[in-house]
Amino acid sequence: MPQAAFDCVIRAGHVATAVDEFDADIGIKNGAIAAIGRDLSAGTAEIDAKDKLVLPGGIDAHAHIEQLSSAGIVNADSFESATASAAFGGTTTVICFAAQHRGMNLMTVVGDYMALAKKGAVIDYTLHMILTDPTKLTLEEHVPALVAQGHSTLKVFMTYDLMQVGDEGLLDVLLAARRNTALVCVHAENHGLISWMGKKLVEKGYTAPKYHTVSHPRGSEAEAFTRLIAFAEFIDQPIMIFHVSTAEGVDVIRRARGRGLKVFAETCPQYLFMTAKDLDKPGLEGAKWMCSPPPRAETDQEAIWQGLALGDLQVVSSDHAPYAFDATGKLSAGSNPNFKQIANGLPGIEARMPLLFDAMVSKGRLGLAKFVELTATAPAKIYNLYPRKGSIAIGADADVVIWDPKRQVTLADGMLHDRAGYTPYAGRTVTGWPETVLRRGEVIVLAGKLAAKPGSGVFLPRAGGAAAAPRNRLAGDMDPARNFGARLY
């Protein structure tokens, strides 16, 4: 018998990329897309995609998996459960974190998370390295060694008592990133404002989860963005601003990009589909909706959609950070915690793509191509995974999701596959669902069942790429031609 030209053909679907849509068959060979056309010859396996949408697998560029928090608790998910949940939601690549805490050796930290991912991941993965202890050893020896191994994003916090690096630490990290062509991702909120408000509210007895939203004043975001952008411009270093939540934050980013700065920005479903009012629940229930920054108002949602439409924000990630509503997670400080003692974070790795598909494709906001761009192509490009990941193109990994655009699903606690045990979107009905998921040509989700072994996801080493490359516009004080010859890089 002659050998089939393809290992698998996805036949007669409606294919979409970030720029085009067309009816086509997709031929897959050795895990990659080998042909896109009409009436392709038979594959060893055939998948009928008639009346279905055939889209690139999602890339979730911000997920906390099996991560130790500064309070000493670990997210509810293992790599196995989080990446299985991602796959069920149409995501085939995840960027998660290797989290250094103060006093920890970054090389050891990255090695530990790599081992966990290698053992458990069912989708492909790559890491952001969280730096909370930017010592000389970390910045001058470990960061260069790790960037050379393919870990090319650094993440820092401007708030959280035990995580924030302070202004000087931030400048040190930006400089180290520039030297190594790494992108710097930042959790940017004003630490003093949040810390002061938190203490004031608790002192006066406002301890319920809803006061968490009040303790992160909206202005803390725009202030931190402004300071961060000033520092990044001063060092001439590209940045990614994580989880934008306010209209004022979007404005700051728009102005910076308007001046040509390499400022990238992300938002998350919680800032598009939730508001602060979601935390206003009896007792401690509101803790299930607690994340930082907190969800804001409808006007912020509109401003963020507009930011996405105009390209000021390029990526929508989940910021998946699941904690069960029990003593292992949200209630780890006892049964009567104040909001400052409750872990921040929401499950979202599985709901991200269906929620966005429903809003953007089914309800028509920004459309199919933009959905593909925000959830797959743009993160692939910014994080230098493109063209291997992020599109339907010849030569790309065959990470393909077949969506039923008509299927309606009502989200409910316990129906998703992460281990939080609840979804903040319970009761919401979405139209459109990822039915069949292929990762490097292998069917890993079919008919509601997972068909991938733990550890079958692979590490994706990345250099910094175009997004991380500096503009080479030196600030006067950093430029030896203008600072009396001082060489500071």
The residues binding Zn ion (CB under 5 A) are 187, 319
Q: Which of residues 327-366 bind ligand DUC (CB under 6 A)?
A: 344-345
Question: In the complex with ligand DUC, which residue's Cβ is closer, 233 or 319?
Answer: 319
One-letter amino acid at 226 equals: T
Minimum distance from residue 62 beta carbon to ligand DUC (Å) = 9
Question: In the complex with ligand DUC, which residue's Cβ is closer, 68 or 366?
Answer: 68
456 sits in which H/E element: none
The CA distance from 418 to 206, in Å, is 32
Minimum distance from residue 332 beta carbon to ligand DUC (Å) = 15
Check residue 187 for interaction with ligand DUC (CB under 6 A): yes
Within 13 Å of residue 99, how many CA atoms lie on the same side as its CB?
A: 21
Question: Residues 6 or more apart from 165 whose CB is under 8 A from it?
Answer: 131, 132, 134, 156, 157, 158, 172, 173
Question: In the complex with ligand DUC, which residue's Cβ is closer, 125 or 433?
Answer: 125
Question: In the complex with ligand DUC, which residue's Cβ is closer, 133 or 319?
Answer: 319
Check residue 64 for interaction with ligand DUC (CB under 6 A): yes
Q: Which of residues 188-207 bind ligand DUC (CB under 6 A)?
A: none
The CA distance from 276 to 270, in Å, is 10
Tell me which of 40, 63, 146, 291 binds ligand DUC, using CB under 6 A.
291
| Strand extents, DSSP E, 17-123 | 21-29, 32-37, 43-48, 53-56, 58-63, 91-99
Minimum distance from residue 293 beta carbon to ligand DUC (Å) = 8
Number of residues that bind ligand DUC (CB under 6 A): 8
Question: In the complex with Zn ion, which residue's Cβ is closer, 189 or 358?
Answer: 189
Task: Using the structure block, give the residue that is written with the tokens 């796959």.
Answer: 87
Minimum distance from residue 128 beta carbon to Zn ion (Å) = 9
345 binds, among ligand DUC, Zn ion, none (CB under 5 to 8 A by kind): ligand DUC
209 binds, among ligand DUC, Zn ion, none (CB under 5 to 8 A by kind): none
Check residue 77 for interaction with ligand DUC (CB under 6 A): no
The CA distance from 489 to 486, in Å, is 9
Long-range CB contacts (within 8 A, 24+) of 409-415: 409/354, 409/433, 411/351, 411/354
Minimum distance from residue 64 beta carbon to ligand DUC (Å) = 5
Question: In the complex with ligand DUC, which residue's Cβ is closer, 292 or 423?
Answer: 292
Please state, as a whole number, how many other Cβ atoms lie within 10 Å of the Cβ of residue 248: 18
Cβ(243)–Cβ(216) below 8 Å: no
Minimum distance from residue 52 beta carbon to ligand DUC (Å) = 34
Minimum distance from residue 321 beta carbon to ligand DUC (Å) = 3
Question: In the complex with ligand DUC, which residue's Cβ is closer, 11 or 128?
Answer: 128
Minimum distance from residue 457 beta carbon to ligand DUC (Å) = 22
The CA distance from 245 to 487, in Å, is 38
Q: Phi and psi at residue 371, in whole multiples of 5°? A: -60, -45
Q: Which of residues 293-332 bind ligand DUC (CB under 6 A)?
A: 319, 321
The CA distance from 241 to 239, in Å, is 6
Of 31, 24, 15, the closest CA to residue 456 belongs to 31
Residue numbers at the binding site for ligand DUC (CB under 6 A) = 64, 187, 291-292, 319, 321, 344-345
